[in-house]
Amino acid sequence: MTSYRITLLALLMLIAGAAYMIIDRGQAAASDDRMAIELTAEERNIILTEMRGFLDSIQKIVQGLAANDMNAVAKAAERSGMAATHDIPGSLMRKLPMGFKELGGPTHKQFDGLAREATELGDVQITTEKLGVLMQNCVACHASYRLVVR
């Protein structure tokens, strides 16, 4: 009798767990089918700070382009270049999926490229085009990933 009760209880828990997972997944898929990257609150903060840096750079780049101030463009782009990645701890890097890193790394490199070209060529048209290409990374990554704190 006791073992029968335990079996029944285990079975009920299994069903409840499965139902919860189906409902939970269903909701996630309905509202948001981006892949969730699980981080600590601190790690998420590091990434989001970097993101706000990206946005700040882009705002200043666009303003610089409009004013034909390629010095300002180069300075703003440099701030989001590879140098900006040096503060990211290895433990956080290891938690990021390959697809995320394959979009993130090139984004920083392209900011450095943008800075270089702005200085060397001083061509608003070319740098504007490059900015458009660079920003495809923002769009692609945002369509694929979200950060959750666990």
Whichever of 9 and 142 has its CB closer to ligand HEC, that residue is 142
Return the half-sphere exposure (C-beta side, CA atoms, 13 A cut-off) of residue 51.
13
CB under 6 A: which stretch of 5-13, 21-29, 116-124, 130-138 binds ligand HEC?
A: 130-138
Using CB under 6 A, pick the residue from 55, 82, 93, 133 that binds ligand HEC.
55
Q: Does 138 bind ligand HEC (CB under 6 A)?
A: yes
Residues 103-122 that bind ligand HEC (CB under 6 A): 103-104, 107
Size of the site for ligand HEC (CB under 6 A): 18
Q: Please give the residue ranges that form the binding site for ligand HEC (CB under 6 A).
A: 48, 51-52, 54-55, 58, 100, 103-104, 107, 135, 137-138, 141-142, 145-147
